[in-house]
């Protein structure tokens, strides 16, 4: 156990930031006036949370208006949101605000929240009755405030050993169980739950959203999908609770962004994944709407690859190439099933993911009249078409097309398709040379989404890798499983992550 002498070396700096140091060190009582304003604003927000910002009903769901952050100026007591806050500082020079949800101090000069030990001690000295009311309100409406409130329950003293312990461990709170939190089904929302669980368990996305990724406190976009996903990452990783939680903000933002998704009807998880990736892309700063220009945003580099289509004229050999962005690969399982039914190669074996990829990238004969060859003067010619992957994304989604739609009937193909825990994607790219380093193209399975039931009445659940273990997420039900159980699943969507991000898979 650390001694008092050792603990003192780990204590906080004298002030939260240089701007706060200047403010609190002013002569003439200005520093004391700032402290008075700090406590006054804190108590004012506490009363508002208790009396004014109560849960409301919207679209049949209970929402909480005060969870939307507002910033109250400590100088003039006016309240602002994001962009308005910055404009207020430029106009008045006031640069300190208190955020309405957790009453944390925001410095506009730093552009970030700041923690000042002296002000926190001042905050903790408010009457016990006030703290008790505040604890009750926030724990009812905001479970994420629990960690902060634990430090409020005990009054500090100047010589408290507990105080020294808290000071030295304030930024070292051990996490509770991670990766084992389910998501409540809010009414036919299993399609959303499986896709969100997939994102929540990806290390790349965790680094982004739990780091300096999407800045929700500065975002001015109404019903922003990026903010909703960032909130889900914060809730998933910051709470000490192991029980499930509801991704209500993401559901409401999705409904408002797409009339097709609005309501409680069943949705396709693959289509929702495409929708969510597109909305995350548009929520990032500096993104390009035209994917062909090579968007530099994080989500484009993470989710989007590039697919090349080559059409070769059978008569003159002229080759026409086009390249299109891809966010996933839709692999035709029907081709494999038909080959088995006709007694073709591998008829007695189970269809495989590699077989689907080979079918996807194999040359295909086009019927006469479909292709007009420029090398033959624009006349219609027979031709051969082939698809290859020009650029691989860091997160690769592959859909096993289990649904077949004809004029007379729509049906679902049941049955297992073998897929591996890791796969080398080099043979399916535009440059499958044997001398290339295969490690640049190796992907590891991160999650597998399963659909059970018929086309119009089914349910989704997902297997996700958590470290070296596999977890089954069936809405809010969470169950540890083995690798064998995962590999035996009738997967609909497979998500693979690039094993080595230090290498580039560009062709």
pLDDT averaged over every residue in the chain: 78
Three-state DSSP class for 140?
A: helix
Please give the share of the chain, as a percent, with pLDDT higher than 70: 74
Distance (Å, whole) CA 489 – CA 479: 15
Report the share of the chain in percent with pLDDT over 90: 36
Task: Indicate if the pLDDT at residue 272 is higher than 90.
Answer: yes
Q: Is residue 411 over pLDDT 50?
A: yes
If one compares 249 and 25, the residue with the highest pLDDT of the two is 249
Name the band, by pLDDT with cuts 50, 70 and 90, for residue 327: very high
Given 3-state DSSP classes, what are the helix, strand and coil percentages for the chain, each rounded to the nearest 5?
35, 25, 35
Distance CA 199, CA 210 (A): 13
Provide the whole-model pTM: 0.64
State which H helix or E strand residue 412 sits in. strand 410-412
**Burial of 12 from C-beta contacts in 10 A (0-12 / 13-18 / 19+):** middle
Is it the case that residue 66 has pLDDT exceeding 50? no
3-state class (DSSP) for residue 142: coil
For 192-221, b/e burial (b = at least 16 CB within 10 A) is bbbbbbbbbbbebbbebbeeebbebbebee
Q: What sign has the CA pseudo-torsion 42, 46, 48, 53? A: positive
The 3-class SS string of 240-283 reads: CCCCCECCHHHHHHHHHHCCCCCCCCCCCHHHHHHHHHHHHHHH
**235 sits in which H/E element:** helix 225-238
Q: Is the pLDDT of residue 57 over 80?
A: no
Least confident of 286-290, 406-410, 465-469: 406-410
Measured CA to CA in angstroms, residue 441 lies from 8, 201, 418, 444 at distances of: 50, 21, 20, 10
Contacts of 455 (CB under 8 A, 6+ apart): 403, 410, 411, 412
Q: Residue 178 has what pLDDT?
A: 54
- The H-or-E segment that residue 404 falls in is strand 403-405
Q: Is the pLDDT of residue 435 over 90?
A: no
CA end-to-end span of the chain: 55
In 258-380, which ranges are continuous DSSP H helix?
A: 269-283, 298-303, 333-341, 353-361
Structure tokens, 74: 């400590």
Alpha-carbon distance of 131 to 42, in angstroms, equals: 11
SS3 call for 416: coil
Q: What domains sit in the chain, N to C, each tagged with a CATH number?
A: 13-43+70-126 (3.30.40.10), 189-283 (no CATH)
Whether residue 135 has pLDDT greater than 90? no
Would you state the pLDDT for residue 50?
52
Query: What is the pLDDT confidence band of residue 169, given thresholds at 50, 70 and 90?
Result: low
Flag whether pLDDT at 342 surpasses 70: no
Residue 6 has pLDDT above 50, yes or no: no
Highest mean pLDDT among 17-26, 49-58, 160-169, 174-183: 17-26
Taking Cα atoms as reference points, which of 391, 503, 497 lies closest to residue 444?
497
Over range 19-37, report the average pLDDT.
84
Neighbours of 81 (CB within 10 A): 14
pLDDT reported for residue 465: 94
HSE-up (13 A, CA, CB side) for residue 318:
15
């Amino acid at each position: 156990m650390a001694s008092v002498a050792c603990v003192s070396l780990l204590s906080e700096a004298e002030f939260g930031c240089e701007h706060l140091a200047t403010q609190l060190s002013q002569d003439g009582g200005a520093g004391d006036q700032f402290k008075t304003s700090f406590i006054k604003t804190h108590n004012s927000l506490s009363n508002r949370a208790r009396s004014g910002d109560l849960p409301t009903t919207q679209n049949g769901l209970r929402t909480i208006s005060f969870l939307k952050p507002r910033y109250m100026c400590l100088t003039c007591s006016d309240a602002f949101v994001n962009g308005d806050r910055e404009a207020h500082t430029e106009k008045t020079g006031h640069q300190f605000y208190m955020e309405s949800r957790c009453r944390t101090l925001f410095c506009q000069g730093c552009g970030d929240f700041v923690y000042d030990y002296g002000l926190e001690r001042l905050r903790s000295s408010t009457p016990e009755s006030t703290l008790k009311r505040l604890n009750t309100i926030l724990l009812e409406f905001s479970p994420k405030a629990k960690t902060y409130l634990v430090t409020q329950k005990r009054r500090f003293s100047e010589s408290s050993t507990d105080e020294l312990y808290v000071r030295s461990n304030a930024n070292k709170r051990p996490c509770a169980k991670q990766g084992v939190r389910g998501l409540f089904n809010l009414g036919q929302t299993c399609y959303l739950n499986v896709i969100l669980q997939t994102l929540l368990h990806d290390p790349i996305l965790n680094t982004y959203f739990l780091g300096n990724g999407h800045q929700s406190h500065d975002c001015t976009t109404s019903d922003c999908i990026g903010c909703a996903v960032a909130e889900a990452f914060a809730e998933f990783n910051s709470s000490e609770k192991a029980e499930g939680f509801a991704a209500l903000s993401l559901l409401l933002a999705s409904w408002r962004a797409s009339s097709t998704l609005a309501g409680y009807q069943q949705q396709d998880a693959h289509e929702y994944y495409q929708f969510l990736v597109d909305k995350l892309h548009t929520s990032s700063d500096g993104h390009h709407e035209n994917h062909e220009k090579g968007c530099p945003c994080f989500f484009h580099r993470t989710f989007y690859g590039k697919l090349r289509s080559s059409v070769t004229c059978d008569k003159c050999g002229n080759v026409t190439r086009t390249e299109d962005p891809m966010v996933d690969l839709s692999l035709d399982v029907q081709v494999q099933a038909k080959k088995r039914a006709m007694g073709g190669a591998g008829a007695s074996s189970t269809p495989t993911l590699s077989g689907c990829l080979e079918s996807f990238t194999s040359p295909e004969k086009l019927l006469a009249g479909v292709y007009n060859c420029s090398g033959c003067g624009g006349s219609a010619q027979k031709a051969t078409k082939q698809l290859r992957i020009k650029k691989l994304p860091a997160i690769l989604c592959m859909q096993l097309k289990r649904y077949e739609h004809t004029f007379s009937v729509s049906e679902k193909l049941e049955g297992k398709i073998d897929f591996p825990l890791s796969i080398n994607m080099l043979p399916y790219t535009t440059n499958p040379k044997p001398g290339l380093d295969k490690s640049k193209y190796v992907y590891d399975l991160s999650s597998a989404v399963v659909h059970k039931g018929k086309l119009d009445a089914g349910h989704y659940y997902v297997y996700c890798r958590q470290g070296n273990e596999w977890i089954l997420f069936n809405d809010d039900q969470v169950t540890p499983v083995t690798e064998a159980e995962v590999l035996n699943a009738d997967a609909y969507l497979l998500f693979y992550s690039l094993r080595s991000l230090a290498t580039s898979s560009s062709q």
